[in-house]
Structure 1
Amino acid sequence: MDDRIDMSGHESTGALLRTIRLERSLEISDVAQETRITPDIIRAMEADDYSSLPALAFARGFYGLYATTLGLDPDKIVQRFLEEYRKAEAIPKASGLTPPQWQGRSVGSMASPPSHSFGTYLGIGLLLLLAVLAVISWYTGYNPASQASKWLRGFQDPPAQQSLPADQAQQPAAQGPSQVSPPPSVSSEPAIPIPEPLPPPETQQPVAEGYRYLLVVEFIDTTSMSITVDENPPETVTLAGGTIKTWQASESITLEMPPAAAVRLFLNGIALPLPPASDGTISLTIPEYLLD
């Protein structure tokens, strides 16, 4: 077996590994399971595709594991791989090409037909079209430059003002004062502005998952209120004007506040009017208040 390793002139290291693997009736998946090397890297090793291999330090370890699995001397296999790798690396440095480029250049450059870009065909087509238009213009005497000049002058010249006949021009002066329409009457009463609905405050807080109601309370003046959320105990808050407070509930919200409460309510982004006071207290319960 060592004699086959030392015969470097007959086949590459990758071809030798593949030949011995096939002789032992091993599939790539068997080698991958034994060495923990991915099948893609094993195929690249057998094909001597150095560009698909990882860094050289990892590649050396992979060749050693593969040789050990096949019962070969790992040191000799790694040494042989390094010699072939350095030779392959020296060729592209001399020619300025990467290994995949110089490996496919000798065959691909001889078999590929000359290719022309789309721009080449487009330029040839435009030249032919211009030549045909020039022949037509010369034969018919048509000058496209003069027609374009007339077309541009049509945009630059101002439109002629239409003059009225003399009898129509003097007709307004001959009309009497009685024929002049009176100016529209202006009401002395000032117009009553229509108030626009105030937009809800920007809370930047959507209804959280698991909740049905998002109540936003904007305090216009200092106001006290009692609020009960779901099964939680009542909470009494007193907040100054300009404060915005939010509560979220999954089942119900109950509010109680004095009749002079100066607040604005928004439920899920929609303005909620305050009910009239009853027994000196404004009280509402959601969702019962929405069904009234």
Structure 2
Amino acid sequence: MKQTGQLLRETREKKGVTLNEVAMATKINVKVLESMENGDLESLPSKAFLRGFVQTYANYLKLDPKKVLNNFNEEMGFHDQKHRPLESTDPNVTQEAAITAQSHPQVTIASTTAKTTSIPRPIEDSQNSNMKRVFIAAGVLAVILIIKLLFTTIEKYERESKTPTASEIESTIKEQSLKHETPPPADQIKPAPASTTTSSVTTPEKTPTPKEEVKPAVAKPAPPPPTVPAPTPIKEKASTKADTAPNSPNAKKALLSETGASIQNKELIIEALDNVEIVFSIDNGPPKRTRLDTDKIHIIKAENSINVEVSDGGAVNVIFNGQDMGVPGTVGKPMKLNYP
């Protein structure tokens, strides 16, 4: 093999071709080409595959393949046709056998006829097919997850774009007042009888509407009370007292004074359109920090002033004293809100 390898090396060097270029063109490993040129039989595959490599190398260098193969057969001791390895009549099979021998030197050829050679398929074929199935399954799963994420995001923005109705806000406020999540400050609790307060909580369905409360005030010579803000627990207490109070002049004056005092208080309703963190202080008191999840409502009541810092000005909707102030800021930017 040394003479044949020397012939191949000299021809390659004359043409100025490197082993890497030969390997890329013939699909033969660089180490196998180097062993062929050095005549190192221990590092080469079986002689049946080695013959195919020699023929492919000779064709690439544009040498006479018959002459090179005859030299190879004489050098390897293949003088008799009986001892010569079987050749495949199909050139594609020869090339496939060469590639197989490159990665699997231990594989042998099982001859089924005297003229054709059967080459076992590499084990990597089944492994590659399994890997392809895994990649396809992973790709399909990734597409499904992306589609689900898109639908979730779209539904979230659609839900945020819807402005809650007055009835929804009223029902939410009533639920929060019943659960005592945000009890009113101590300065807003009036010294009313316990029976009146209990009736306002236990029987909210009997509370008259704001229109019924305004009408008797207009009919009297006393100045009409200001417009009552959006429905809050305080307004329910005032309405209940107006319904149960006697018709005496002193009682009406007390009712008007109490209603006017409750209106002077400040009430801020913060509705979270997204997860947001707020820091607020009441009447220049110590700051308090809380975090609101999406669609949660927080009520802040004060006597003089309310100062609020919002981590995301576009993630809240503000209602101050019954007036819908809308979204105060820009999405993603913090801001401060002051209500004197």
Shared fold (TM-score, shorter chain, > 0.5): no
Bigger helix share = 2
